Amino acid sequence: MPEHSGQVVAYVRVSTIEQNPARQHAAVGAVDETFTDQVSGKSRSERPALAALLRYVRAGDTVRVASMDRLARSAVDLAQIVAELTGRGVRVEFVAEHLTFAPGDADPFALFQLHLLGAVAQLERSLIRERQREGIAAAKARGVYRGRARKLTGDQIAEARRRIADGVPKAHIAREMGCSRRVLYDALAGRGAYAAARGSTELGDERPGREASEGYAMTSAAP
């Protein structure tokens, strides 16, 4: 890639806190700062790390993303984010697609690729969701649909409650049980896959801590 001034800033997004972003980190390579969202990213308002990145970058910087579908979930959103960044003097690089958008660069073929690849990715996600809905409907019709598998047993959930009552941090319990904090919160609150398992006892506030609820992280390169 050509030389440029300013910092190289990476944006990484995984849909859940259980997904491993290692491949995206490897794809973007050595960078100065990394902003990581741990959310599905259906809209820009749901991605706090992206908002933080947009506030952080300055003219002359480069935003590097492993692939287009990590930056946006729709072709319109993708084009808007790229236009906003390049309009502020920031380069945008997509590693998988081998595309770079520079400030003042109005290459019509590159713009066509941006819209085309973004639209294809959006269509693919829609088709996957449709196939999932059809598969669930068919499984329900056959009486074999059981929903998402539970990672914690009833005994483990009861043990977690006892340990929380004893003052053990939930993050520590989740690590020992080999699950994410979100899974533990859902199990304790009877949400998601654990909805049917929730007892009659009322639970306290099981909301995640500030770092989990914000759903993003910023990391700096080592000096």
Phi, psi of 33 (to 5 degrees): -140, 150
- Count Cα atoms within 13 angstroms, Cβ side, for 30: 2
| 15 is annotated as an active-site residue | yes
Q: Tell me the C-alpha distance between 223 and 219, whole Å.
A: 12
Closest CA to 9 of 62, 86, 82: 62
How many whole angstroms separate alpha carbon 5 and alpha carbon 60?
A: 5
Q: Are 10 and 35 in contact (CB under 8 A)?
A: yes
Q: Is the dihedral of CA 37, 39, 44, 48 positive or negative?
A: negative
Task: Return d(Cα 62, Cα 53) in angstroms, integer.
Answer: 11
* β-sheet with 33-38: strand ranges across: 99-101, 91-94, 62-65, 8-14, 33-38, 216-220
Please identify which of the residues 5, 15, 43, 67 carries the catalytic annotation. 15
Catalytic residue IDs:
15
